[in-house]
């Protein structure tokens, strides 16, 4: 009994220290974000995203990139993982090694290479790829998101009896698109939502590549705003953190509700 009490005491101490370490800076940042120029407290810093056209446009741009990146990465990874698990299980280790490369290679190295390509690319390639942040950043965000989406989707595939489901659907005459859309995806809904959440969080937090390539996304605009107004920058950073947390809660709720059914 004494040993159990001691273990619980240490567990509570560690949790309390972790809470102070993580929650303390967030509370200090929240207090600072509500301070206005005259020393009073209000929500003026948070309303800047509505009044400031540059912030609003940057947010819309980042959300568009996040949506397109999510669609592309899911369209690439879901059929690939299903095919490997069904037809070529020996390639699973190779696929896992390939998808981990964006973590091994630092983003700043990729950004430097992209900047060099952007400066030396012929006119047709520059107009096709680098004309807008949507076409320029989406392919590279897809690459950066692959390590996280692969592991989330692979865990979802492992959690279901994929071969039985596919063979039953094919035996009933379903085409491969119908198998993926009406059989596989509904049974790994939680994994798909988790992969989508990770992709959105990555896009809304990436700064290095977009700033080196001189595209104004929402994270870049937050950094630039912080040079003139620290309160607004901190407020927008906290708002992004809360938005990401809410997305995680919605993903968890949707996945749990589906599992319950």
Q: What is the mean pLDDT of the chain?
A: 81
Overall domain count for the chain: 2
Split at pLDDT 50, 70, 90, the class of 65 is very high
Alpha carbon 93 to chain centroid, angstroms: 24
Report the predicted TM-score, pTM, of the whole model to 2 decimal places.
Answer: 0.79
Are 154 and 112 within one domain? yes
Say how many Å lie between the first and final Cα of the chain, rounded: 41
For residue 41, give the 3-state DSSP assignment: strand
| Mean pLDDT of all residues in 26-33 | 82
Quick: pLDDT tens for 133-161.
888 889 889 999 998 899 889 888 888 88
Q: Are residues 221 and 93 in the same domain?
A: yes
- 36 in a structural domain: no
pLDDT at 4 over 60: no
**In terms of domains, do 208 and 146 share one?**
yes
- Of 220, 210, 213, nearest to 115 by C-alpha is 213
Q: Indicate whether 76 and 9 sit together in one domain.
A: no
Q: For the residues 239-253, what does the mean pLDDT come to?
A: 74
Higher pLDDT, 144 or 8: 144
Q: What is the 3-state secondary structure (H, E, C) of 72-123?
A: HHHHHHHHHHHHHHHHCHHHHHHHHHHHCHHHHCCHHHHHHHHHHHHHHCCH
206 and 102 in a common domain: yes
Q: Is the pLDDT of residue 3 over 70?
A: no
Question: Which of 197, 205, 182 is closest to 255 using CA atoms?
Answer: 197
Residue predicted with more confidence, 231 or 60: 60
Kindly report which listed range (39-43, 110-114, 196-200) carries the lowest average pLDDT score: 39-43
**Alpha carbon of 238 to those of 19, 20, 178: distances in Å?**
17, 17, 41
The Cα 237–Cα 222 span in angstroms is 7
Same domain, 62 and 110: yes
Q: Which of 36-40, 50-54, 55-59 has the lowest mean pLDDT?
A: 36-40
The predicted pLDDT at position 255 comes to 56
pLDDT at residue 260, as a whole number: 47
Question: Do 115 and 140 reside in the same domain of the chain?
Answer: yes
Provide the residue range defining the domain that includes 4: 1-29
217 and 107 part of one domain: yes
- Which tokens sit at 220? 């870049």
CATH number at residue 102: 1.10.3720.10
């Amino acid at each position: 009994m004494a040993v159990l009490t001691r273990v619980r005491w240490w567990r509570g101490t560690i949790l309390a220290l972790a809470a102070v370490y993580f929650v303390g800076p967030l509370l200090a940042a929240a207090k600072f974000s509500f301070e206005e120029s005259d020393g009073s407290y209000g929500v003026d810093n948070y309303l800047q995203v509505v009044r400031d056209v540059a912030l609003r446009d940057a947010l819309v741009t980042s959300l568009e990139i996040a949506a397109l990146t999510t669609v592309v990465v899911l369209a690439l990874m879901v059929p690939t993982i299903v095919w490997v698990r069904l037809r070529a299980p020996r390639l699973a280790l190779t696929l896992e090694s390939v998808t981990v490369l964006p973590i091994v290679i630092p983003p700043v190295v990729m950004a430097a290479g992209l900047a060099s390509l952007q400066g030396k690319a012929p006119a047709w390639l520059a107009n096709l790829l680098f004309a807008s942040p949507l076409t320029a950043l989406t392919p590279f965000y897809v690459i950066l998101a692959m390590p996280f989406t692969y592991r989330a989707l692979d865990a979802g595939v492992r959690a279901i009896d994929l071969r039985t489901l596919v063979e039953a659907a094919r035996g009933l005459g379903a085409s491969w698109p119908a198998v993926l859309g009406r059989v596989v995806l509904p049974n790994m809904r939680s994994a798909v939502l988790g992969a989508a959440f990770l992709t959105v969080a990555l896009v809304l937090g990436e700064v290095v590549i977009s700033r080196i390539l001189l595209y104004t996304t929402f994270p870049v605009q937050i950094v630039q705003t912080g040079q003139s107004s620290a309160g607004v920058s901190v407020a927008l950073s906290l708002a992004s953190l809360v938005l990401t947390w809410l997305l995680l809660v919605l993903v968890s709720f949707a996945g749990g509700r589906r599992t319950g059914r």
